[in-house]
Structure 1
Amino acid sequence: MNLLKTLIKDLHSFLILWITQSLSALGSSMTNFALIIWSYQQHGSALQTAMLSVCSYLPYVIMSIFAGALSDKWNKKIIMLVSDSFAALCTIVVLLLLKTGSLEIWHLYCLNALNGLMNTIQQPASDVAISILTPKNHYQKVSGMRSFSNSLISIMTPIIATTLLTLTSMDLIILLDLLTFGVAFVSLLCFIKIPTAHNENVKKESVLQSAKSGLNFLKHNRGILNLILFLAAINFTASVFNATFPAMILSRKGGGEVSLGIVNTVTGIAMLVGSVIASILPTPKSRVRMICNSLLLSMSTENFFLAFGSSVPVWCIGSVLGWIAIPIMNSNMDVIFRNYIPIEMQGRVYSARNTLQFFTIPIGYFLGGVLVDKVFEPFMIYQQTGEVLATLFGTGKGSGAAFLLFILGIVGVLTCVIFRKNTDIWKLDRITE
C-alpha cells in the first residue's frame, strides 16, 4: 500500500495527463475508425482510404524536423492545448459537413493534412512533457502504462465505434469525440503544471540551427540513428500492411465490418497483455535484444497468418502473435531514448527522429493502396481455381491483398535480420540505467 501511495505521489501529474489524454485519444480513434469504414463503403478503394493516412503523415514528416525548435522554445502546455483545440475544430467541421450531406473524401484529406501539421509540434512537446513529469526511475513503468492505454484504446475503438455505427450514426461518435476532448482540455488547463526545462542555448538558436543541432546529435550517436532507421524500415512494411489489411478483411468472404472490428479488438487485447508484461518485467540484460526479438516475432507471424487464413479465428491468432510483443519493444526503445538523450535536447532530437523514423509511413500507405488496387487485385483476377496462387490466397476480391501480405511478411523478416547485425545498435546496451 505504501508503495502504491509513493507511486501515485511521484506520478500525480503524469497520471492526470495520461488518463485524460487517453480518453481523448479514444474519442479521436473512434472517429477515425468510423471515417475509414465510411470511406471504403463510399468508394471501395484501398488507395483512396489509404490517402487519409498519407495526408495525415506527409505534413507531419516534412515539418517535424523544424518543430523541435519550437517545441523546445515554447511552453509545452500551451502547445498541447492549442493543438488539441485545433483538432477539435477539425472534428466540428466534419460533423457540420456530415449533417448537411456535403462531406466528401477530399474534405477529409485537407482536414487530416491540417491535423498532421499541428501534430508536428504537439508530439515532441508531449514527449518532452512526459520526460519532465516522470522521475527517471519510473521511465519503463510509464512507458508500459502508455502502451497499456494505447492497447485499451485499440480494444475499445472497434467495439464502441462498430456498435454505435450499427445502432445509431456517425454523429454520436463525433459528439463523444468532442466530449472527451473537453475533459482532456479542462484537466490539462486547470490541474497539470508542466515545469520548464531551462536551456539558454535553445533560446539563442534559430529554427534552422535547432533542426541542425537535432540532426547533429543523431549524426554523432550512430546507435540511436541506426535504431531509428531500423524502425523506419519496419514502419514502411507496417504502413503498407495498414493500407492492405482493411481492404482484405472488408472484401474477403467471411470478412466485413464486424470481422474487421473483431480482429482489431483482438489486436488491442494482445497489446494490452503485452503492455502488462512490459510494465512488470524486470530490467532486461539487453534492451536491444528485446527490441530485435519483439520485431522479429511480429514480422514473422501476423502477415503469414492473415495471408493464408480465410476465417476470423485464424486472423485473430495472427494478430495476437503480431502485436503481443510490440509494447515490450516500445517500452525498451522509449527507455533507451529517454536515458540517452538529454531532456533539454529531446524536443529537437525527437523531431529529427520523427522525420527520419516516420517518413516511410506516407510512402508505405500510398504504395500499399496502389499495389492493392492497381497490381495485386487485378493480377489475382486472372488466377484460375486450382492454380498455385489461387490455392494459397483464394480467389475474388481480397485475394490480391492476401498475396501482398505474404510478400510483406518476407520483407519484414529480412529487415529484422539485416538490422540485427548492426554493431552500433548493440552498443546502446552500454547505457547506464
Structure 2
Amino acid sequence: MINNFFINKNFFLLWTGKIVSQVGDKFYGIALAWWILQKTHSPATMGFFMAASTLPGLLLGPFAGTLIDRWNRKHIIIISDIVRGLLVVVTALLSTWDVLALWHIFLASIIISLASAFFDPTAQAIIPQLVTKDQLSKANALGEMVTAFSTIIGPIFGAMSVSLLGFTWVFLMNGLSYLISAFFECFITFSKTHDSHIRQNSLWFEMKEGVKFLFHRPNLILIISIIGITHLFVGCLMVVLPFLAKELGDNSVQNLGNLEMMLGVGMFLGATYIHRKIKNITQEKNLFYIILLMGVLFASIGVARAMVGLSLPPYMLLVFLIGTAIANASIYWRSLLQLHTPDTMTGRIFSISSMVGNVSLPLSYGLFGLLLNYLSISLLMLISGACLLLVGTTLMGSYKTAAQ
C-alpha cells in the first residue's frame, strides 16, 4: 500500500510529517491572528507581525541555500522542525501562565521564519534523493495534496478549535505537530551525496557559484519567473475574494468560506489528477498552457460579474478551476526544477525560487489592494487575465525561439 500510493517508505515518512505540521500551521495561524487582534486591536501591529514572520527568512535565503548544499539535509529538516516545535510549545506555556506578551510572539515568529528558510527549500531539495526521476511528478503531487488538504480543513477546524479549546491548546497542538513531524523524519534514510566537495570553498564563493549556475540555465530562469508571476496573480485573487464575497450577498463570511474552500478543493483534485495520470513531467511548455488557462479563468471572473451578476455558483466553479491550475503549476515547476538541477545545487536553486515566491505574494497584496481602490472587481480581473495571457504568450514565444 505504501509503495503503491506513497512511492516508498522514506517519502511516506517525509509526507506524513509534512501533513501533520502543515495542518498544525493553519490552526496556529488563525489562533495567532485572533490573539494579536484581541490584544492590540491594531491592523498596523498585524502588518508588522506579518513582516516579522517573512522578512528574516527572505534575508537569510541566499545564505541558507548554500548551507543546505553543504550540510546533511536530513539533519536540517529535523532540527528546523524541533526548533519551531519547541518555540511554539514555549508560547503555549507562556499563554498557560498568562504571561504571554506581544514581544514573545514577535521573537518566536522571527526565529520560526529563520528556521523555515532552511526547512522549506530543503524539503524540496531532498525529494530527488528519496525518489527516482520518473517518480518526481507523483511525489510533488502528493506534496501539493497536503497543501490543498490543509487549505480546506485549516480555516474551518482552526476557527472551531480556537472557539472550543482556546488559544493555549491550539498553540500546543501546533508545537506538537512540529515535534511529531521531526519524529517521523528521524527514520528517513538516503545516501548522502551532495556535500562532499562544497565545504572546500568559502560560503561567499559557493553563493556566487549558485547565481552563476542559474544565469547560465535559461530554462531554470524561465521556471522561476513563472513562479513569481503565478504568485503575483494568486495574490490578486486573494485580495479580490473578500470583496467579491461581500458583493455576492448578505452572508459575506459564508460566501468567502465557500470560495476559499472551492479553491482548496480545486488544488486537491488537480494534484490528485497528476498523481494518478501524469507519469513524467519533462517539458516547460506545459507551464505556459497553465498560465494561459489562468488568464482565461481570471478574465472569466470579470466577465461573469457583468453577465451572471451576483449568483455565487459560477464564481465557485471558476475559483475551483483556478485552484486546479495553481496545483498543476506548482507541481510542474517543482518537478522541473528538481529534474534540471544537479543535487549539489538544489539547495541554492530552491532557496532562490522560495524567495521569488515569498517576495511576489506580499508585493501582490499591496499592489492589487491599492488598485482595488480605483478599479472595479470586474475591470481588475479582466486586466489581470489579459496580463496573464500576454505573459504566457510572450514566454511561450521566447521559449520556442530559444529552442530553435
Q: TM-score range by the shorter chain?
A: 0.7 to 0.9
Question: Is 103-112 or 200-209 further displaced after alignment?
Answer: 103-112
CA distance in 2, matches of 1:52, 1:315: 32
The answer as to whether partners of 1:54 and 1:363 remain within 8 angstroms in 2 is no
Cα-Cα RMSD? 3.5
Q: What do residues 273-319 of structure 1 show as CA deviations (whole Å, max 9, x unaligned)?
A: 11111112345797433322223333443586499475654543332
Shift of 1:87: 1.5
The match for 1:288 is: 284
Shift of 1:257: 4.9
Shift of 1:258: 4.5
The letter of the residue matching 1:421 is T
CA distance in 1, matches of 2:402, 2:142: 23
Which residues in structure 2 correspond to 1:143-222 (within 5 Å)? 143-189=140-186, 191-222=187-218
The answer as to whether partners of 2:281 and 2:336 remain within 8 angstroms in 1 is no
1:276 aligned to which of 264, 269, 272 = 272
Q: What do residues 220-273 of structure 1 show as CA deviations (whole Å, max 9, x unaligned)?
A: 011211221232133233335435645775898534554444333222211111
Distance 1:207 1:19, change over 3 A: same
Question: Is 169-178 or 257-266 further displaced after alignment?
Answer: 257-266
Which residues in structure 2 correspond to 1:2-13 (within 5 Å)? 7=4, 11-13=8-10
Which residues in structure 2 correspond to 1:253-272 (within 5 Å)? 254-255=250-251, 257-272=253-268
Q: What do residues 7-57 of structure 1 show as CA deviations (whole Å, max 9, x unaligned)?
A: 479621111211122112111122113334555677777765455443333
> Residue 18 in 1 paired to residue 23 in 2?
no
Question: Is 281-290 or 416-425 further displaced after alignment?
Answer: 281-290
> Residue 233 in 1 paired to residue 229 in 2?
yes
The answer as to whether partners of 1:21 and 1:184 remain within 8 angstroms in 2 is yes
> Residue 31 in 1 paired to residue 28 in 2?
yes
> Residue 140 in 1 paired to residue 113 in 2?
no
> Residue 325 in 1 paired to residue 344 in 2?
no
CA distance in 1, matches of 2:121, 2:239: 26
The letter of the residue matching 1:354 is S
The letter of the residue matching 2:272 is V
The match for 1:334 is: 334
CA distance in 1, matches of 2:119, 2:274: 26
Number of residues paired by the alignment? 399
Distance 1:69 1:317, change over 3 A: same
Question: Is 313-322 or 132-141 further displaced after alignment?
Answer: 313-322
TM-score (norm 2): 0.84
Q: What do residues 68-124 of structure 1 show as CA deviations (whole Å, max 9, x unaligned)?
A: 111011111221122112222332344345446666666545433332222122222
Distance 1:312 1:180, change over 3 A: farther
Shift of 1:60: 2.3
The answer as to whether partners of 1:213 and 1:348 remain within 8 angstroms in 2 is no
CA distance in 2, matches of 1:42, 1:249: 28
2:250 aligned counterpart, secondary structure:
coil
Distance 1:251 1:418, change over 3 A: closer
The letter of the residue matching 1:28 is D
Shift of 1:218: 1.3
Q: What do residues 399-428 of structure 1 show as CA deviations (whole Å, max 9, x unaligned)?
A: xxxx36852552354144224323454589
Which residues in structure 2 correspond to 1:341-380 (within 5 Å)? 341-367=341-367, 371=370, 376=373
Distance 1:302 1:408, change over 3 A: closer
Distance 1:317 1:198, change over 3 A: closer
The match for 1:127 is: 124
2:284 aligned counterpart, secondary structure:
helix
2:189 aligned counterpart, secondary structure:
coil
Distance 1:45 1:361, change over 3 A: farther
The answer as to whether partners of 2:25 and 2:174 remain within 8 angstroms in 1 is yes
- In structure 1, runs of 5+ residues without a counterpart are 380-388, 390-402
The match for 1:407 is: 380
Distance 1:10 1:236, change over 3 A: closer
The answer as to whether partners of 1:223 and 1:426 remain within 8 angstroms in 2 is no
CA distance in 2, matches of 1:176, 1:250: 33
The answer as to whether partners of 1:222 and 1:425 remain within 8 angstroms in 2 is no
2:64 aligned counterpart, secondary structure:
helix
Question: Is 342-351 or 178-187 further displaced after alignment?
Answer: 178-187
CA distance in 2, matches of 1:275, 1:217: 30
The match for 2:390 is: 417
Question: Is 89-98 or 157-166 further displaced after alignment?
Answer: 89-98
Shift of 1:325: 1.9
CA distance in 2, matches of 1:310, 1:59: 42
2:126 aligned counterpart, secondary structure:
helix
The answer as to whether partners of 1:217 and 1:349 remain within 8 angstroms in 2 is no
1:344 aligned counterpart, secondary structure:
coil
